[in-house]
Amino acid sequence: MTDPVRATPDDSTLVRIRGLTTVLNGKTIFDALDLDIPRGKVTAIMGPSGTGKTTLLKHITGQMRADAGEIRVNGQNVADLSREQLYKLREGIGYLFQNSALLTDFDVFENVAFPLRQHTKLPEVLIRDLVLLKLQAVGLRGAARLMPNELSGGMARRVALARAIVFDPMLILYDEPFVGLDPVALNQVLKLIRTLNQTLGITSVLVAHELEAIKQVADHIFLIANGKVVAQGNPMTIANDGSPWTRQFFGGEADGPVPFQYPAGDLAQALGFTGAAK
C-alpha cells in the first residue's frame, strides 16, 4: 500500500490540520490526518464517497469535534474556542451548500440579506447596498426580487454564493458546488469561484468529484482515502502520478485500494448455510 502523503508546515497556511482522528459508529473516518490549506488559493478535497469530505468541512467550522488531533483556522485552535469565539470565527467563513439551501419563502434579496439581519445591527440602507453589491458580483442584481422557485439551478447556486460572501469572509467552503449544473451554469460558477478568489483575496476549499471542472479552478488537490491524504498535487498532473489511488479514483476503476465490497462477514453464513450440501 502506498504511504500516505504528509503535510508540510507553511507560514502562509490558513487551515492547519494535524493528527485528526474521527471515529463514527465504529468506523474510522480520519486516521491521524495531516493537511494544510494555503491562504488565498483554491484547494480541492477529493476522494471516494464516504471518505469524510463533508465531515472535514464540519470539523473546520467546529460543527463536529474530532476524537483526537488539532485543527487551526487562522491560528486559532477550533476545539479550544468558546461558543462566542466560535460564532465569531464562523462569521469569517462562507459556506456554499450542495443544494444551495435557499430560504423558499424569501426572495433573492432577502436570502442574501438574511445573515446580515441575523448577525448585525446595520441600518437598512447599508444592508441594501451590501446585498446589491454582492448580487452584482454574481451577475444577479436584476434578479433581486425573484423567488427561489423562479431560479434555474445555476442561478440558485450563484445566489447562494452571494450570500456566502456577504460578510467578505476569509474562507469559503464549497460542498459539491457543481452537482446538477448544466455546462453553461457550471462554467459560470467556475468563473465566479476563481474571480472572487482573486479579487477578494479569499481562500477557497472545494469538495467535489468532477476532475475536469477542478482542473479549471483549483490550485491544489488533496485526495483522501482510508482516513488519510493518499495523494496530492497540481490538478493538471495528479491524475497521472502513477499511484494506485489516483489510478483508481480518476480512472473510474471499480476495484483497487478502495474495495468495491463494503466489509462484511462470510456470505454463506449470512445466508444460513452452515456446511456443504450432502
Q: For the domain that residue 191 is a member of, what is the CATH number? A: 3.40.50.300
**Distance from chain centroid for Cα 140:** 24
Q: Which strands form 68-73's sheet, in the order they lie side by side?
A: 27-38, 13-24, 68-73, 76-77
Q: Which strands form 93-96's sheet, in the order they lie side by side?
A: 93-96, 171-175, 203-207, 42-46, 220-225, 228-233
Angle between helices 153-164 and 124-137 (to 10 degrees): 130
Cα separation, 19 vs 138, in Å, equals: 38
CA distances from 167 to 66, 134, 230 (A): 27, 10, 34
pLDDT value at residue 257: 59
Residue 263 lies in a domain: no
Residue 155 lies in a domain: no
Q: How many domains does the chain have?
A: 1
Residue 266 lies in a domain: no
Tens of pLDDT along the chain (278 residues)? 344 444 444 468 999 999 999 998 888 899 999 999 999 999 999 888 788 899 999 999 999 999 999 999 999 999 999 999 998 899 899 988 877 789 999 999 999 999 999 888 899 999 999 999 999 988 899 999 999 999 988 899 899 999 999 988 999 999 888 888 888 888 888 888 888 888 888 999 999 888 888 888 999 999 998 888 988 888 888 877 767 667 777 665 555 556 555 667 777 777 877 655 44
Is 61 strand, coil or helix? coil
Range of the domain at 30: 13-99+169-258
Residue 178 lies in a domain: yes
pLDDT value at residue 181: 82
pLDDT value at residue 1: 39
Residue 116 lies in a domain: no
Backbone phi and psi for residue 13, each to the nearest 5 degrees, phi listed first: -80, 130
pLDDT value at residue 219: 93
Residue 271 lies in a domain: no
Residue 61 lies in a domain: yes
What are the counts of helices (DSSP H) followed by strands (DSSP E) for the chain? 9, 10
Cα separation, 101 vs 107, in Å, equals: 13
pLDDT value at residue 79: 92
Residue 162 lies in a domain: no
pLDDT value at residue 142: 94
Among 34, 86, 28, smallest CA distance to 230 is for 34
